[in-house]
Chain A
């Protein structure tokens, strides 16, 4: 009587092992790439009720971040500009542009322009804008080149490990206090960010918290 299992079954174990190996690697790789904020958050670009372009306002018109985000230097919360802030100019400039419909509507009714939120840290995380911008961390470091964004999108993962990168080595990000809101700033030729950063770090006694209490309360 012949074998119950045909000859080719002898190869199955080997094939299974190889398969598992491949799948395992694929899954691990997939998770590390697709399931981390690097992928899930970066690049999030919702359409806003009014097509506000930072590119035009900052790049072309050279407006300062603080004109609209007026409380960023004093408050934990970098405020969304008020409709009034928009209308301060747009009553004269392009008062009829269809792009501004939503803003004019809100101006009339008193209902807010409900901008879509782009950047969000979890509710148990207490991020404070004021302390960062006042101690040499630029908007750029967390929000990227907003000045070039026609529509705002998330540029950095803003995950905990990402925060820690800076909190552990702030010298890689610290800037001259005058350049905080200068999205184009680069260390002068010959200067290196690390060198400048270390000077500021020493001079200002920058040692950001890396224990839980710094952000979680």
Chain B
């Protein structure tokens, strides 16, 4: 009956260790079918098809980034046309200061679109992942260090409505999980 973290602290959840991607994958399918919600699988690398195995929808990130891109584009349009056509229209090489000067403005529109999109992508991803978060209950469990090397884990959180210590332990063991451990916070 192994535990990790500060026993007096509330239980974060129960975690089990798996040796290979295949076992983890099948375990995930079972847990999904068992109807758990607040749980996750941990692996050193993204496992192909794991989203389906866990029954998750596609990430929303793409749509957010699209908005970011639009912002970038319109920033550029404003940045270029407002000074050139309105604030201080200057005669440069006999070129128009109206809409027809737009061909020369495309490159910057393009660059800013890319720039803001990239920012949204990265920071959007971090926020959706709740990162940076340096302290986490799982880090209390020494074996969990191996997750970034070559071990695979499943953790079912105590917050899950169907969570009960016993049933979850049995489930994880039945799935072939080793070192099933109750994780406490600190």
Interface, chain A (partner B; CB < 8 A): 1-10, 12-13, 164, 210-211
Contacts and interface: CB of A to CB of B under 8 A. Distances in A.
Contact of A3 (B88, B90, B91, B186): B186
A1 B186 CA distance: 10
Nearest to A168: B88
B21 to A, nearest CB: 27
B134 A5 contact: yes
Interface in B125-156: 132-136, 139-140, 142
Contacts of A12: 134
B139 A4 contact: yes
A10 B142 contact: no
B6 interface: yes
Interface string B168-186: 0000000000000000011
Nearest to B137: A3
Contacts of B13: none
Nearest to A7: B135
B5 interface: yes
Contacts of B88: 164, 210
Interface string B50-83: 0000000000000000000000000000000000
A5 B131 CA distance: 14
B142 A9 contact: no
Nearest to A8: B135
B90 A10 contact: no
A6 B186 CA distance: 8
A183 to B, nearest CB: 32
Given A211-B90, A211-B91, A3 B136 contact: yes
